[in-house]
Structure 1
Amino acid sequence: MVGALVAGERADAGRFAKRFEDAAGRSGFELDAAQVRVVGRLAQLGAEVSRWRSPFGRQPRGVYLWGPVGRGKSWLMNVFYETVPTDKKHRVHFHDFFHQFHAAFSRHRQKRRAVDFAVEELLADCRLLCFDEFHVHDAGDAMLISRLFTSLFEKQITLLATSNYPPGGLLPNPIYHHLFVPMIEKIERTMDVVELAGPRDYRGRSWSGEPRSRFETGVYVWPGTDAQLRDAGLTAPAEAEIIALDVGNWRIRALAARDDLVWFDFFDVCGTARSATDYLALTGRFTTWVIAELPRLAEVGQEARQRFANVVDILCDRDARLFLVAAAPLADVLRGDDLPPDIGRIASRLSLLSMILPREAPGRP
């Protein structure tokens, strides 16, 4: 009987692996060697999840998939998620889910084990949670994330997480890192840590040969002359268009709000206290963003840099279109010391934007 089950799982895993190969073929590329190794583990997980009859039987062991930007982690997760034949699954981005979790936690915070109630509210029927772009930088968030993961493990929810960091690289700030070590150790005990570190960065190309999202149809404009803005399909705001937008209990100045387009000055959207929740709320109202007066990040404070990184992550994850009007070439904007820990991912995402640059450097004849 056991032998038959093992043989069945192996056959299922083979079919899952074939679906990854077919998906790659439809998108016009072949899996590289590093991706093939990861596919083997994901195919095994898919076979186990498809045969798992919770709460009976052995719970499938989760996978923590990490590696540099652009190696295909999110694409592999997407194919896996679409392939696994269960309706008790959820795929979420870090920012979106943590925003929802914060809100649910607040609704239950007066109860004992408020985290468990929040998880039950959001994931009542979930047996497989695919958690994309997982990272931990804030010490306050780290403690809540620890309790969240503990609740997920206790509820026998199998996790597939992608990250740019190995577990030991989470919460990298040396002042606070030790606080997250117990959670890191629990992740390593409970999940298989799998590295995807192939030699090629695929972010510079589309998997299918076509733009994957509205984000990729965005534009990086430097230095932002009227002619360049016209080439980008933009018209500079008039002073009369300045408006204050209500975001929760806060207000934020926008240079213009035209239907689904909003135009911000960098320092209005990133230079003052704003949370990821604020940005998420704004993406629900505006699907095209213009951020003007983007400075070299080395010239602004650490909090403004991190907010900019959060904005880029959220806009990309929410499939919004982004126009950046910058003071310098992209490489110069992203150069400097003490930049956000996720600057590699941000640089990779911004490299997807089309570039409208001066024919000659400003100031030259």
Structure 2
Amino acid sequence: MLNLIAPKLCCFLSGIHRLKQSMPKRKAGKMAKSYDPIAPVAEEISDEACLLCFDEFQVTDIADAMILKQLFENLFLHGVVVVATSNRPPEDLYKNGLQRVNFVPFIAVLQKYCQTLRLDSGIDYRKQNRPSAGKLYFLSSEPDAEATLDKMFDELAFKQNDITRPRVLNVHNRKVRLNKACGTIADCTFEELCDRPLGASDYLEISRLFDTVFIRNIPLLTLNKKTQARRLITLVDALYEHKVRVVILAEHLLEDIFVHDGDHSHDESHILMDDLGLKRVRAGSLPLQ
């Protein structure tokens, strides 16, 4: 019988980091060969599954980038088969990332063990309208937009066995505070979710705990907000993967939410477009991918 694991890469690597932390620590002061937790972790995974499938394989975190080569090399040596979808070919993974030179050997491992097939259908299903879900994207310029979201939240919260209050999430021993939540409903601002130094692990925890997330006050995203734009992409991707309903209040239409202002170098704008998956001929839209 074929054993299959099919997580998001960020979910999978969060589990890897937890396994690493649970492994025995090397003793201080010992000059002997340091204990390597990656090989036994890979062996444990290969005992459980012979096929790993990843949807939207992307690397955005330096801690993930540093372990991928050794982890996957060990998985392949144990006969594990990997199937993954990605918005980028292997050679563009972690493009412009911190210390990418240390990540490049992993690309060679992927190219050695995996075959690349182009399957782009041209359809982004996350942006497909679902009439049964009602209106979920609002413009701040619309009359009573804030009041409409308030009413939506109150109606959903009324069905919860809870009171509206702040929530503090524990993510890898860090405290992440959300100012307004009720049961499985979270009412957040863009500043709260994307201006703070949050990452995939935080967004995955939010996706696990809530089935509806309001994101208010998304501003126009320029190169000055490139870090926040990347966080927004990671957030929406995590929410989409976990089938969380997202209600958005933004200053601009989705297709106009990212613009290239003229105050930055040509090269820098191209780097950001590559990082965000934007086509250089049409940098006026921010695909939520």
Whether the TM-score (by the shorter chain) exceeds 0.5 is yes
2:152 to 234, 239, 242: 234
- Counterpart pick for 1:270 among 180, 194, 211: 194
Map of 2:108 onto structure 1: 185
In structure 2, C-alpha distance between the alignment counterparts of 1:284 and 1:152, rounded to whole Å: 27
| Residue in structure 1 matching 2:137, options 214, 220, 225 | 220
CA deviation string 1:286-311 (max 9, x = no partner)? 11100111111217533322221111
What is the rounded CA distance, in whole Å, between the counterparts of 2:108 and 2:89 in structure 1?
A: 12
Match of 1:304 in 2: 228
For the residue of structure 2 that corresponds to 1:305, the secondary structure is helix
Distance 1:192 1:296 in 2: 39
Is 1:341 the counterpart of 2:275? The answer is yes
1:66 aligns with none
Greater relative contact order (Cα < 8 A, sep 6+): 1
Match of 2:6 in 1: 91
Over 3 Å counting, the alpha-carbon distance change for 1:349 and 1:306 in structure 2 is closer
Q: 1:260, CA displacement in angstroms?
A: 1.0
Q: Output the CA distance in 2 between the equivalents of 1:170 and 1:297.
A: 23
Match in the other structure for 1:285: 209
Contact 1:89 1:129 in 2 (8 A): yes
Question: What residue is the counterpart of 1:362 in the other structure?
Answer: none
- For residue 253 of structure 1, report the CA deviation from its aligned partner: 4.0
Q: What is the CA-CA distance between 1:168 and the residue it aligns to?
A: 0.9
Matched, 1:246 2:169: yes
C-alpha contact 1:101 1:119 (8 A) present in aligned 2: no
**Could you give the per-residue CA deviations for residues 295-353 of structure 1, whole angstroms, max 9, x where no partner exists?**
11217533322221111111011111111111222222223343572445994448xxx
* Pairing partner for 1:105 from 11, 15, 20: 20
For structure 1, list consecutive stretches of 5 or more residues without a partner in the other structure.
1-85, 351-365
- Provide TM-score, normalisation by structure 2: 0.75
Q: 1:92 to 1:123 in 2, by over 3 A?
A: farther
Q: 1:108, 1:117 within 8 Å by CA — same for their partners in 2?
A: no
SS in 2 for 1:87: coil
Note the 1:1-365 alignment, pairs <5 A.
Answer: 86-108=1-23, 110=25, 112-173=35-96, 176-197=99-120, 200-201=122-123, 203=125, 219-223=136-140, 225-226=143-144, 230=148, 234-235=152-153, 241=164, 243-248=166-171, 249-298=173-222, 300-336=224-260, 337=269, 338=272, 341-344=275-278, 347-349=286-288
Query: Once the 2 structures are TM-superposed, how far is the Cα of residue 202 of structure 1 from its aligned partner?
Result: 5.5
Amino acid at match of 1:230: T
Cα distance in 2 for partners of 1:232, 1:204 equals: 24
Q: Distance in 2 between matches of 1:306 and 1:134?
A: 15
Q: Distance in 2 between matches of 1:192 and 1:170?
A: 15
Q: Secondary structure at the match of 2:42?
A: helix
Deviates more, 1:242-251 or 1:100-109: 242-251
> Partners in 2 of 1:182 and 1:250 — Cα distance?
32
Question: Secondary structure in 2 aligned to 1:148?
Answer: helix
Name the amino acid aligned to 1:261. I
Displacement after TM superposition at 1:160 (Å): 0.8
1:290 partner SS = strand
For 1:99, give the aligned amino acid: S
Aligned residue type for 1:201: I
Measured in 1, the distance between the counterparts of 2:153 and 2:249 equals 12
Structure 2 residue runs without a partner (length 5+): 27-34, 158-162, 261-268, 280-284
CA RMSD of aligned residues (A): 3.4
Specify the structure having the higher radius of gyration (Cα): 1
CA distance in structure 1 between the aligned counterparts of 2:15 and 2:205, rounded to whole angstroms = 11
